Amino acid sequence: MHSDDGLGADVEPIRELAQAPITHGSNTEAKPRITGAAFFGFLVGAYLQNAAEQSVPVIMSIVQKIDLQAARTIYDESSVYRTSVLIIGSLLGATVAGFLARKKAIFAGLLSSLPYILVAVYILLVSLGPQYSAVFARLPFAEDLAGDTSLQHQAILRLVLFGLAGSLGGLVGHRLYAPEIDVDLGQVRVTIFGIRWAHYFWILPFIYLAFLASVLMIVYAAVTILFADFFFAWHPSLWFDSAWNWGFPVGPFLAWLAIWITGVSFIRFYKIMQYRQAEFKGWKKVRRILLYGVGAPALSYTVAALAADVALAMPKPVEGDWKIAVGISAVILGIVAIISLIAKIRERVSRWQEPEAGDRETSN
């Protein structure tokens, strides 16, 4: 199989992504689209993993107050961090694949997770196989992995999680799909989300990577601010602290601003890149691509990092003051319970008095 644009056979599935119409007739017509959707979904998940490898160590260095190199070492050596990133990337890729496939979405989602599943199966095979046959001992990495019980358990867990992520992501993509939001329907050329397939050779490594890194930093900032606000609510010694009075609204505002910049710039970038759009051409189009695709995600990443820094820079409370907050909460709950009890007593008394009043009228 050869590419007629000279870009290699490995991208042929993407080229055929939109060639199969959305019909329920021939299964043969749907196969190229399902394969291309799965391949593109796998690429999206892989670039999310790449973005996490760049962003997560930075976040760890901020949280743990260690240098970046030490944070990268911890991240590389932690199976929990890496497995979590792989599962999330597989889930996102399967969702994209399920949406683009239009039908047989769960199969497309599983197909997008197939490389991860095959790696887990191979690790399990070379770890277990040499115990039963010397043939497996000749496989690459068998000498290092054979008999490692911990690695076997990790491989089985990853195998199950990748299967679940692929199935669930495909189902979510299928639920999200609707013909009225499918910008690839009716296109003369092969497009993915309305953009010519060949553009993704630079969109994925440059634009997608920047946006994904920005989203990860926003998620970290939002979680940090949420914990900081919860921390503030349960420590009365901070309620009248001037630093908290200005920091309490600044952090959420910066996080919201980063979300707004990321969302608006991503939408505008896709509008500019739509196939056959005629509003922006030449250098005018290039300037907006650089603005929305490069400058905006870099700005939102910085703003989100500042939001997290504001939350982390807040002063510490007086030790044990949370007990006062618990006492205040108990008093408030007690008052509410007493008011509710009084209301119920009055309601029952009024019900008892109504029959008595009726009996008096009858006797008269």
Query: For residue range 308-338, what is the model confidence (pLDDT) as tens digits?
Result: 888 777 756 545 555 555 566 667 777 887 8
What Å distances lie between residue 343 and 338, 348, 351, CA to CA?
9, 9, 13
For the segment 106-117, what is each residue's pLDDT rounded down to a tens digit? Answer: 999 999 999 999
Q: What is the mean pLDDT of the chain?
A: 79
Please state which of the ranges 8-17, 43-52, 240-249, 251-260 shows the lowest mean pLDDT: 8-17
Tokens of 28: 């043969």
**CA 271, chain centre distance (Å):** 23
pLDDT exceeds 50 at position 15: no
| CA 19 to chain CA mean position, Å | 29
At 360, the pLDDT band (50, 70, 90 cuts) reads low
- C-alpha dihedral (347, 349, 354, 355), degrees to nearest 10: 130
pLDDT in tens, 153-198: 888 888 999 999 999 999 999 999 988 888 877 777 778 888 888 8
Q: Give Cα separations from 261 to 152, 209, 299, 311 (angstroms).
A: 44, 16, 8, 20
Of 271, 270, 257, the closest CA to residue 214 belongs to 257
Q: What is the mean pLDDT of residues 258-272?
A: 93
Range with the poorest average pLDDT among 104-113, 142-151, 233-242: 233-242
What residue segments make up the domains of the chain, in order of their start? 1-188, 194-319, 323-364
For residue 269, is pLDDT > 80? yes
Q: What is the pLDDT of residue 19?
A: 44
20 pLDDT more than 60: no
Residue 242 has pLDDT above 70, yes or no: no
Query: What pLDDT sits at residue 319?
Result: 57
| ∠ CA 88-92-96, rounded to 5° | 170
pLDDT tens, position by position, 190-236 = 788 888 888 888 888 888 888 988 998 998 888 888 877 776 665 66
Assess whether pLDDT exceeds 50 at residue 23: no
**Residues 68/58, Cβ–Cβ less than 8 Å:** yes
Residue 238, pLDDT above cutoff 50: yes
Q: Which has more pLDDT, 326 or 104?
A: 104
What pLDDT shows up at residue 325?
Answer: 54
Percentage of the residues of the chain whose pLDDT score is greater than 90: 23
Specify the pTM. Answer: 0.69
Report the Cα 195 to chain-centroid distance in Å. 23
What pLDDT was estimated at residue 53?
85
Residues 120-139 pLDDT 10s: 888 888 888 777 777 777 77
pLDDT tens digits for range 288-309:
999 999 999 999 999 998 988 8
pLDDT at residue 26, as a whole number? 45
Those residues with Cβ within 8 angstroms of residue 267's Cβ, 6 or more apart along the chain or in another chain: none
Give the pLDDT band of residue 25 (cuts 50, 70, 90). very low
What is d(CA 248, CA 240) in angstroms, rounded to the nearest whole number? 12
Query: So what's the pLDDT on residue 275?
Result: 84
Confidence at residue 168, expressed as pLDDT on a 0 to 100 scale: 95
Reply yes or no on whether the pLDDT at 354 is more than 90: no
pLDDT at 3: 41
Distance CA 37, CA 30 (A): 11
Share of the chain above pLDDT 70, in %: 77
Map tokens 């009225």 to a residue.
Answer: 180
Query: What was the pLDDT predicted at 308?
Result: 86
Please give the single-letter amino acid code of residue 302. T
Span 237-255, average pLDDT: 72
